């Protein structure tokens, strides 16, 4: 059986692109969504027209119960999970002093707790198989910090910390854990950026262009089949962060 891959937040943006392309490449894809049921169904239907079946599964991955239901569904159907892609996330731009407790909690729950819960529930099954790969979609802002996105930056830095710690703990069990830290990618998440904002970002980017979800998917495809990379935070950002 080809690899079984869960992609969280796969109804739109980067996650959708990952799920679509992995399915086209013959992997068994479980595309998670939360609110965007129609988009998720559209993804499934588009693939079906090409003779490709995927599962779509509604779960709010910031809730432990929903995560358990998602993981149980996959294990019942496929008996194993080869790859987990923790992609679901939200962003918010606010002055530090305007961030409410609710904003902070929602940011942590959606971007960080989700990856923690998903990884914990999935890794038990990977340990049994003595193999697996977890890919966390963090952000360049977890590395550099972003003004007016302190809570987002904290959550993404937390993800990268989790990546490194898990890589150490589970390396001996043949489970690889890596982060991909995207730069500015053209998705709904950046709908609040106007033409002027994009121009500025492009000017600051050595490759002088904005990112596309497929740029992230290419790295994912490589990471899925790689066998000697773990604990890394891989920047896919046109060079905007050069460390
Ligand atoms: P997007 O277009 O806004 O899509 C976000 C996806 O996350 C949607 O499919 C959404 O599903 C899902 N999601 C949100 N909360 C969820 C929850 N509680 N449970 C399950 N799914 C949930 O964003 P994107 O640009 O593709 O971003 C994907 C990831 O890349 C995020 O983690 C983001 O932080 C990271 N990233 C993006 C950029 C960028 O420039 N775009 C840069 C760096 C990092 P529903 O609509 O179904 O709820």
pLDDT tens-digit map of 175-219: 999 999 999 999 999 999 999 999 999 999 999 999 999 999 999
pLDDT at 243 over 90: no
Place of tokens 């559209």: 42
Q: pLDDT tens digits for 56-97?
A: 999 999 999 999 999 999 999 999 999 999 999 999 999 999
Q: Is the CB of 13 under 6 A from ligand 1?
A: yes
Q: Which CATH architecture has domain 4-236?
A: 3-Layer(aba) Sandwich (3.40)
Instruction: Report the alpha-carbon distance of residue 99 to residue 151 in Å, rounded.
Output: 8
Of 8, 9, 236, the residue with max ligand 1 atoms within 8 A of its CB, to mutate for a pocket test, comes to 9
Alpha-carbon distances, residue 85 vs 30, 81, 151 (angstroms): 10, 11, 22
Q: Is 60 in the pocket of ligand 1 (CB under 6 A)?
A: yes
Q: Where are the domains of the chain?
A: 4-236
Residues whose CB falls within 8 Å of the CB of residue 141, separated by 6 or more in sequence, listed in order: 149, 152, 153, 156
Summarised one tens digit per residue, pLDDT across range 7-56 is 999 999 999 999 999 999 999 999 999 999 999 999 999 999 999 999 99
Q: How far apart are CA 230 and CA 227, in angstroms?
A: 9
pLDDT averaged over every residue in the chain = 98
pTM over 0.75? The answer is yes
């Amino acid at each position: 059986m080809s690899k079984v891959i869960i992609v969280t937040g796969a109804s739109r943006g980067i996650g959708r692109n990952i799920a679509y392309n992995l399915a086209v490449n013959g992997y068994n894809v479980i595309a998670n969504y939360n609110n965007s049921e129609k988009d998720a169904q559209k993804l499934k239907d588009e693939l079906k027209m090409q003779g490709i079946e995927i599962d779509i599964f509604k779960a709010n991955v910031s809730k432990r119960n929903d995560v358990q239901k998602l993981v149980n569904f996959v294990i019942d159907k496929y008996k194993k999970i080869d790859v987990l892609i923790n992609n679901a996330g939200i962003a918010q731009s606010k002055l530090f002093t305007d961030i409410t407790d609710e904003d902070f909690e929602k940011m942590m729950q959606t971007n960080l707790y989700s990856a923690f819960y998903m990884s914990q529930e999935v890794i038990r099954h990977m340990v049994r198989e003595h193999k697996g790969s977890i890919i966390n979609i963090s952000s360049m802002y977890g590395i550099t910090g972003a003004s007016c996105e302190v809570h987002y930056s904290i959550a993404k830095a937390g993800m990268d910390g989790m990546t490194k710690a898990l890589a150490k703990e589970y390396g001996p069990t043949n489970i690889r854990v890596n982060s991909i830290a995207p730069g500015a990618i053209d998705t709904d998440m950046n709908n609040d950026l106007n033409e002027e904002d994009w121009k500025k970002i492009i000017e600051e980017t050595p490759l002088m262009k904005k990112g596309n979800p497929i740029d992230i998917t290419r790295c994912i495809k490589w990471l899925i089949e790689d066998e000697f990379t773990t604990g890394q935070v891989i920047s896919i950002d046109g060079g905007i962060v050069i460390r």
